[in-house]
Copies of this chain bind each other. A is one copy, B any other.
Amino acid sequence: MKCLSCQASYESRDSGTCKECYEEANETEEDRKREIEDLKAKVAFLRFWSPFDPQHLSRPNGPCFTDVVLVASSDDGSSSGPPVPVPAHKAVLISRSPVFKAMLENEMEESRSGTIKIGDVSYDALRTFVNYMYTAEACLDEQMAYDLLVLAEKYQVKHLKAYCEKFFVSKLNWENSMLSYAIAHQHNAKLMLDAALSVITDNMDKLTKREEYAELVEKDPRLIVEIYEAYLSKQVNTAAHKDSSMKS
């Protein structure tokens, strides 16, 4: 027989679908492609150019009708000179974050002064954070993903939090799994937590030899207990699965 997709001949034991299902799948694929194109166009339409957009940087004095500034304030006083303010629109902030919404709608100090101080954050991280609220995009490395995860958690920007978690999960390996696990725990990052736990429980034989193991036992033993609990539950599940497949 000849495969309608790759055009190669194949034996009957290598057969996949019947013609009808092949044609149906093809149609579905076309529909999905069209849906993806439509959604991409929608994203492009809804995305804002933010106040840092190249379009605006090229004419820095052009108005962009911002009505609030965010200021990074490091508590350690390490920065030299006054902090550079990040301009933004109240309408954007309140639409992306329930925390900013409460802050700006309820005539708190920040709303009156038009200045929001953000503690313990670098200018770069703050700028990237604000830019994300306009564009739903950010260029991440480990440090930036961590900084944004903290900000996303603090200001309840769920979409950004998921974005950072996905970045960490894509970089996950045995070497960084314990650190990722601890970070995920600290910031309620469920997706990242489950992925890190899965890597750790796949390597239980090496667990106790790791430096971070001894550190965590000392500093936060509950986290270690949770690893053992996850491992145990995995073992029980695997056993049950084996058992049921032997019976069937």
Contacts and interface: CB of A to CB of B under 8 A. Distances in A.
Interface of A: 1-6, 8, 10, 12, 14-23, 25, 28-29, 32-33, 35-36, 39-49, 62-67, 89-92, 94-96, 104-105, 136, 159, 162
Given A12-B12, A16-B19, A91-B91, A43 B39 contact: yes
B136 A42 contact: yes
A75 B92 CA distance: 35
A83 B47 CA distance: 31
A225 to B, nearest CB: 34
B25 A18 contact: no
Contacts of A89: 65, 89, 91
**Interface of A, helix, strand, loop or mixed by DSSP:** helix
Contact of A32 (B14, B32, B62): B32
A65 B36 contact: no
A23 B47 CA distance: 36
Number of copies: 2
Given A89-B89, A91-B92, A20 B39 contact: no
Contacts of A2: 15
Q: Which 8 A-B pairs have the closest CB atoms?
A: A16-B22, A39-B39, A46-B46, A45-B159, A5-B21, A10-B18, A3-B18, A16-B17
A85 B29 CA distance: 45
A15 B15 contact: yes
A42 B39 CA distance: 9
Contact of A16 (B4, B12, B41): B4
A44 B14 CA distance: 43
A16 B96 CA distance: 48
